[in-house]
Structure 1
Amino acid sequence: MFFKLVVLFLLVNFSASEDPGFTFNGFRTANVSLDGIAEIKPNGLLMLTNTTKQQKCHAFYSHPIHFKNSLNSTQILSFSTTFVFAIVSEYSQLSGHGIAFVIAPSRGLPEALPSSYLGLFSEANNGNSTNHVVAVELDTIQNSEFHDINDNHVGIDLNDLRSVNSSPAGYFTNNNGGFRNLSLYSGQPMQVWVEYNGGKKHLTVTLAPINVPKPEIPLLSLDRDLSPYILDTMYIGFSSSTGSLLTSHYILGWSFQMNGRAQELDLSRLPKLPRRGPKQEPIFLTIGLPLIAVSLAFVTIFGIVFIVIIKRKFAEVLEDWELHYGPHRFKFKDLYIATKGFRDKELLGIGGFGRVYRGVLPTNMKEVAVKRVSHESRQGMREFVAEIVSIGRLRHRNIVQLLGYCRRKGELLLVYDYMPNGSLDKFLFNQPREYTLDWRQRFRIIKGVALGLVYLHEEWEHVVVHRDVKASNVLIDGELNGRLGDFGLARLYDHGTDPHTTHVVGTLGYLAPELTRSRKATTGTDVFAFGAFMLEVACGRRPIEPQGSGEELILVDWVFSCWNRESILEAGDPNLGGDYVVEEMEMILKLGLMCSHSVALARPSMRQVVQFLEGHVPMPDLSSLGISLSCLTFGHGEGFDDFAMSYPSSMDKAFNQSSSVAESLLSGGR
């Protein structure tokens, strides 16, 4: 019985340690529970109310949220949310009742009443301390019973519709701080930000039109400890109601995050509001028949010319041998439409191999990432495309799915699954401490990438060498799992030539020294790069960082120096603030040194790395492996030809020891 209680306690605390978050750019597939008259329209628009009178509705996120610190049940954690709403009234100068963002102990509020109670409370329980309800109201009715300041205001409610703080609807401009009024029931979309700092016990509410960036000065703020009002587990959502005037309330998009800033909504992807007013008669109906005939002739000629131009615009290379690859080949036209003509607005990033764009395929509305790779040489293209199609059959949860390719003129386009959180390096470098990944997330990403490499090296039908393992090539999915991407690209430049690359394909700081001699990538060179990757994730530093006076910080040298003076934990990322599992941090740093050994045979395999990470095999003592600074190296120079054979004199001894070192590592075997 005691064991079950311990397991239950650990499970509860583990779930509470999660930082839940979600982003709904429209609600077509959103995990939301509805009641009352709320419904989701076919285009993804959440319609809270319709023109039915004296009704209420709720729309809550289906899963409960843990708001309190598992170690301190009296402390409310920080949270942030943003949403876009619209209130459409039948009359321009009058409106029904408003909308409230609400934190409540249950998804439904069965005792609540419509009209002025906004579906939150009733005459019997309004003001009761047992309600445990926190709400931000967007109220369009002035009710003297609740001391409303006007019929167009924003208020903060704590268990009571008598707001503890309220303000006329509007926003402060960022250029001069001037205040501009807004009409909540104008029918125009507006955005709200609600943010609570758990440490400072400070709540802010900010409002702005949808086309205006978030104002720097909030509309409302409240210094109040919310722990008496918010229980450990609560539900979040929206409440609204109708009265005697016909009014519709809509939510277009919603984002929420515990212990961090809510992800920005993609305003271009939000559903459209229903059209207002009568449909205008087309001008075409008023044109006479002669003009119609002339117009039709013009349209026909123009259409023919347009088709010719379009065919040339979307012309692509298609050779007989490519017919064999079938569904792996995408049409350029589909990719062009998906990325809105490769507009800069859809640009996700620029890497060493080309530009990457976000897109939505018109055939199945699937979100994808499209990488444009310039490659003028046709030498080896057939072999490379065959390799791309083969890689497209890889299936692993820690590998970004390569869906297919498209060739057009001197360009190759690769289509991948879309990863909403971008690349890992953006989370590690140049981020405020509160927005960096915590240790639990980093350790899970390291383990996930390691499992992905084991799959590539040993578990698929062929051995696949990634060739460019690094943080910028690890993408983060919606659940903050790490996925390896961008493999096969280095192979492209082996088939042809590219004046912008060095003779050794890869990235400085991740290149194994044997590459400069053999120029042949192996699973061992992937392990070397993975060692550099582990160190940069644990230390929050790049493998090679420029310092003052033209000097460079070589990360592996620095970690080794910390280990050599028996203070290896000093190398940990200071942004973690010491909040990590000491044994795990020490293991990652030591594994990084082992994988960075300049002798390939002295490095562990990726399967052995996974066994260390999962605790199935104990870590060997680094000193017993003969690791010294001379056995750890990154290439520093601009070129690699001079560096190819420049091992220190102690390398001869290291090579002689490599067989015994490898034997000791392989004792944890496959």
Structure 2
Amino acid sequence: MNTWFLLLLVIPYVVSLTFNLTNIGPPNQSRDIVTEGEGCYISNEGIQVTPNEIDSVMNSKAGRAKYVSPFHLWDNRSGELASFSTNFTFVIDSKGKSNYADGLTFFLAQNNSVITPGGAMGLPVNLTTQVVLSQFVAVEFDTYPNKWDPMLDWNTGMRDHVGISISNLTSVRYQKWSSNITGGGECQAWITYDSISNNLSVSFTGYQNNTPIRQDGLVYTVDLRKELPEWVIFGFSAATGVGFQKNNVRSWSFNSSNLQIDENTGIPPNPGPDPRKELPDPVNNKNSKVGLIVGLSVIVVVLSMFAFGLWRRHNKKIKEMEAEEDSFDVEMNTEFEMGTGPKRFSYHELAHSTSDFAEKEKLGEGGFGGVYRGDAAYSSNDGIQVTHQRNNDQYGSVWLAGRATYIKPLHLWDKDSNLASFTTSFTFVIDSYPNNVYADGLTFFLAHNNSVMNAGGILGLPFDSKIKNSRHRFVAVEFDTYGENDWDPKYPDSNVSIGDHVGININSVTSVAYRKWYTNITYGKECRALINYHSDSKKLSVSFTNFINNSRVWETGLDYTYDLRRVLPEWVIFGFSASTGNQFEKNNVISWTFNSTQFKADDDDNRKIDMLGKIGLALGMFVLVICLATVAYFLRRRRKENDGDTGEELGLLEMNGEFEIGASMPRRFSYLELAQATADFAETDKLGEGGFGGVYKGFLKDLRMHIAVKRVSKASKQGIKEYASEVRIISRLRHRNLVQLVGWCHEKGELLLAYEFMENGSLDLHLFMGKSLLTWNARYNIAHGLASALLYLHEEWEQCVLHRDIKSSNVMLDVNFNAKLGDFGLAKLVDHDKGSRTTMLAGTLGYMAPECVVTGRSTKESDVFSFGVVALEIACGRKVIDYKAQEKQVWLLNWVWELYGDGTLLEAVDPSLEPEFDEEEIWRLMIVGLWCVHPDPDHRPSIRQAIKVLKSEASLPLLPSKMPVASYQIPLVSSLSDFSSTGQYQSIIGECMEPLDTDSSN
């Protein structure tokens, strides 16, 4: 026992909590739920959180249903925080009455928290004193407008709404809920918490014209470690108030991320089962001897390897010297290969995709060798591309198939015929770009290992359409986009295909059950699917997204009862397959979650393992860990000590360098080349200095050109990822108003970027520091050039590029004062018409849109806001924040908008321009600037609209006379904790800019 304890001190264990309770009701899963309060019980309809019958005594009642085990939300010793997601279906039903109350919540709370009656929805808050009795975080489905609830206007409360509440009945975020409580319509909710971004996100269904619709966008950023204890209870609470309503939860699934903790970090309030019992162990006495032998063998082998390693290190120390930049290069190459450019394949991948370079796949032969056609599913920034992403392949994108499977097989059933349950959820896009004719579709499948793929028409499934027979056993859920095959479903009493459909296939491409699928493939809308298999009922259930009148509608009811042991082997591969037929479509899986039940080892068999076997295994593992840690230490120490080159690895890196060199593209420089070009980074050639490091002027003799070299400081926050991001993105962009990257270098721990030299420096030097007097014509051309660059980034390149750091110091001027936008270290690539997925605060305060300060989310609209700030700086010749100015003129945007409202806008024009400026042009530039900095992103123009106004191709917008106020509440944000929220973004940026203005790139 002591040995096991010692082992567990060395090796931490991983805990997570996962369950899926479908069709809650006796006798299903009721043992997993604990009911508390007045009238909370489990019926055949699910959890009745409050009494289900209409009666006068059923008012002002509260109940709570929680999961039987507590949830380990975060670890006190390591500070590690768990992510989690939960999905549940529920019904709130007033039985046709319009007077109902109070609501239902999903909550996480301190253990032993109390239940309070109606009005507080069962949450631990004293309604009389408004005192919080216990810590909690809740998502409320509130059906009664109390005084603390949100208002539609100054005297009208918002009744039905969904809110996020943190130890308070007043929601920190909320959204109006289009409910159907009088009709008792079933609803669904999805709640996720991301421990990295600290985002708590809520989506839910409402009703529009009696049709279910999905409502998204309710998000709040909160560190739950500051709001909740380490262990929490969680579940549902509800209450009836002055009016009655039924609060019924019908199904519930929950999944949390792995939380790695030490054995001795503490015991949960209610101890759960021993996690070791979940693992299959040896079951007979022979394993005692085996354990001892294995343990001793491991010790001998590891010690021998360790001794050999020391001997080899001693005798070949000089030959094994590695340069620190070699490991650095490997890291950088990894960063580049994660980008959106060409992907590096292994020989095995390409051999597999071309059927080992089969003659039938040969497309041609030349002096260089043969060209072969292959199919490949691959990963990109958009997710898994199960088939080719675009219909512009030289060799065609039709009649191709791809498959993506999880790296490990699934243990579906065991030798004792125990069958696993599983649930999977994924988001995907099928996009025809936007042709009305497309094919063939995508599937989620489980199949026999080593099963083969077939090409178009068969969705990549192992089925031979000629002999109508399956090559290997499989079960699939198909999202079929070509309904003209003989086996596709038809309308009753006709031979007319139903077209796009979702079906369940068992060893055949003919679906045993199906539903018509109302798709939006021509516009490539994102869809979601949820697939459940329950081992008790043998029911395979499928839910998915429909599009009706351009609105998402959640479709349920597609199910089929079948014992998967009859068709599938004990171990199966699983994942996605897709194909293109005689027409093209993109088949893209964006996200994927999967969870299955485990087979438990027999407790009696576990007891048969005697202590000798345990000691042998434990001792062997202990020695193995210690030895591996020692070897790792010496390897790391050796890497830091040595500064040489290895033969083969250096050759591979040199080959990678050959691939990166192009005739007209940026290329990779050596450190020596850039050091010579800048006179070893001489101080006399330094052009500027910032938080990122210095910029030096240099001259490349072989290219006969001047360059500017950015030398990223090792202490810079910019770091490897931003450096790699800039190389990946700007090296592929070509526009006259973008600073061109000449090359890059990462050697000797240095990060260097070489740009074309801009003779006139940055715009801010001329506007604010008097480097030269810019004429009005020069300024107007600069504004046009910056707008043109932004139009290219947002709309004209193959992907949308969000710059995220547009400011006057990042606008460079060439010898003719043409504007060129630079510094792409914070830039992100996203799909056109989609917002950024990043939630990290990026940019420079003052130039950042107010919604970015709140959410950290960057969009095209936030880039437009930054452009508007620069446009006003160009016209006014003043910084966005100038504390040396008069009190009303400190914050440029406020001051200019006030002058606009007073009809004296031209008073803000830079006095140095008078009288030589075009009054109409400067008026247009300033109006466009104000339009772009509108606090509400929905009221800002696109950059294309702004350009049309600047060119007098569109009329001026009509702006409000006073600067609008942001329509959302602004929470306290950790990075802005020095000030309180007022709901007005002007006060935030205006008051806090100067002390917080740490240029993210400087």
Q: TM-score range by the shorter chain?
A: 0.3 to 0.5
More strand by share: 2
Normalising by structure 1, we get a TM-score of 0.44
More helix by share: 1
Q: Which one has a bigger Cα radius of gyration? A: 2
Normalising by structure 2, we get a TM-score of 0.30
